[in-house]
């Protein structure tokens, strides 16, 4: 409209045209600048102080979903090896075929001691052997005295039942009765995958080993104490490190703690798992757990820090009394650290940790 007026006034005189044309061009340029500025500059938005927290939770949830999506693929890729690596145990039904002599073919059930009775061979201990190892054992025995270059096949027709406990941040925690060789991935698949609040580490707690008669081995054997294996779930499920896909045994307990927790056990007021604040120290964790008991030896307080690679862990020892007095620095804890305050004079730290898990973490059975 302004431009039309300008051109109308051009015909009135040259001097007027020059003055009004400049004014019109200035006004047009000014309003155009305002229009472009308003269009390119969005109105300021208020940012809430906790905006970063939901973003972090969303990223964590996306990672869990990605792990669950890969879980089925991980199980499928591991099944071939898990069957081959299965170790024969009591009550398994074994079919033995010797191609050179049909009379030696036999289907036998493994005894409670882990033995089978075979023609010409007699009693053979097979507990703990894989199918291929049993084939080689039978072939060597027959070739020694009876058959030249025998061909032997061992087929496991029935697997004995195994009871595996799965607890923590999974969709369907509980005790699973399974048959045959199962792995960590198999059990996670049976449990419906991980919950959104799952932490990054998986703990496999294995009770003391049993001998052939079903009696716990003594401490002198080196197998009288429970063992703990850890697996980094991102390494296992995202990067596909199947060395962390541990084969499971009867009585194993799988625990996936909730993200952002530390565990305090031993002689403290309230043993258990506690949310890990951004900068929680050792003394703060002990205080949250109700403080140190009078019978404790807090000068030997241990922090178990797991690497997520099998049995690899770092064991750190701190003097909680000296920390309380300010004589030494108060160390910061990391996610999934296990703080343990031992009894005064005790030497069975691992067994006490096992008792702590059984007594204060739901789902661990008592043997």
List, for residues 313-344, the tens digit of each pLDDT value.
Answer: 889 999 999 999 999 999 999 888 889 999 87
* Nearest one of 177, 128, 131, 129 to 156, comparing CA atoms: 131
Q: Which residue has the higher pLDDT, 286 or 19?
A: 286
Mean pLDDT over each residue of the chain, to the nearest integer? 77
Please identify, among 158, 192, 207, the residue that sits at the C-terminal boundary of a domain: 158
Write the CA distances from 151 to 186, 199, 227, 251, integer angstroms. Answer: 33, 50, 39, 36
Q: Do 235 and 241 contact (CB within 8 A), yes or no?
A: yes
226 in the same domain as 77 = yes
Domain of residue 351 covers 260-367
Q: Is the dihedral of CA 215, 219, 221, 225 positive or negative?
A: positive
Q: What are phi and psi of 311, to 5 degrees?
A: -95, 5
- Pair 131, 145 in one domain: yes
Quick check: 365 pLDDT over 60? Answer: no
In percent, the amount of the chain with pLDDT more than 90 equals: 34
Tell me, what DSSP letter sits at residue 260? S
Residues 317, 193: one domain? no
**Closest by alpha carbon to 126, among 140, 141, 139, 116?**
116
Q: Quick: pLDDT tens for 176-222.
A: 988 877 899 999 999 999 998 898 889 998 887 644 334 445 444 44
CATH of the domain at 237: 3.10.560.10
Pairing of strands 261-266, 338-341: parallel
The average pLDDT across 57-72 equals 71
- Model pTM greater than 0.85? no
- Which residue, of 141, 158, 175, is where some domain finishes? 158
Q: How sure is the predictor about 64, in pLDDT bands with cuts at 50, 70 and 90?
A: confident
Lowest mean pLDDT among 25-29, 84-88, 127-131, 269-273: 25-29
pLDDT of residue 62: 74
170 contact partners, CB below 8 Å, separation of at least 6: 188, 191, 192, 193, 194, 195, 198, 256
Work out the pLDDT band at 59, boundaries 50, 70, 90. Answer: low
pLDDT of residue 335: 87
């Amino acid at each position: 409209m302004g431009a039309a007026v300008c051109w109308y006034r051009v015909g009135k005189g040259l001097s007027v045209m020059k003055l009004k044309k400049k004014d019109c061009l200035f006004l047009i340029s000014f309003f155009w600048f305002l229009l472009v500025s308003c269009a390119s500059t969005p109105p300021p938005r208020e940012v809430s102080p906790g905006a970063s927290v939901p973003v972090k939770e969303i990223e964590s949830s996306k990672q869990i979903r990605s792990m669950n999506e890969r879980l089925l693929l991980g199980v499928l890729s591991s099944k071939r090896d898990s069957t081959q690596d299965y170790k024969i145990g009591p009550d398994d039904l074994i079919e033995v075929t010797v191609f050179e002599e049909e009379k030696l073919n036999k289907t036998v059930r493994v005894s409670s001691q882990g033995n089978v009775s075979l023609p010409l061979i007699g009693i053979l201990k097979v507990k703990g052997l894989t199918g291929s190892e049993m084939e080689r054992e039978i072939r060597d025995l027959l070739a020694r005295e009876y058959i030249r270059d025998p061909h032997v096949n061992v087929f496991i027709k029935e697997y004995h039942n195994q009871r595996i406990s799965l607890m923590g941040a999974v969709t369907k925690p509980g005790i699973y009765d399974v048959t045959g060789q199962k792995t960590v991935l198999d059990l996670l698949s049976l449990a419906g995958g991980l919950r959104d609040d799952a932490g990054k580490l998986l703990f496999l707690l294995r009770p003391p080993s049993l001998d052939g008669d079903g009696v716990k081995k003594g401490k002198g054997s080196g197998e009288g104490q429970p063992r703990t294996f850890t697996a980094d779930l991102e390494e296992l499920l995202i990067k596909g490190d199947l060395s962390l896909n541990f084969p499971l045994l009867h009585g194993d307990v799988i625990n996936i703690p909730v993200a952002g927790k530390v565990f305090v056990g031993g002689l403290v007021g309230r043993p258990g798992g506690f949310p890990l604040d951004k900068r929680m120290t050792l003394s703060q964790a002990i205080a949250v757990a109700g403080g140190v008991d009078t019978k404790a030896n807090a000068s030997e307080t241990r922090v178990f820090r797991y690497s997520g690679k099998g049995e690899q862990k770092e064991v750190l020892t701190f003097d909680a009394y000296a920390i309380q007095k300010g004589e030494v620095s108060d160390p910061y804890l990391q996610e999934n650290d296990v703080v343990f305050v031992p009894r005064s004079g005790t030497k069975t730290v691992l067994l006490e940790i096992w008792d702590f898990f059984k007594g204060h973490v739901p789902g661990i059975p008592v043997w």
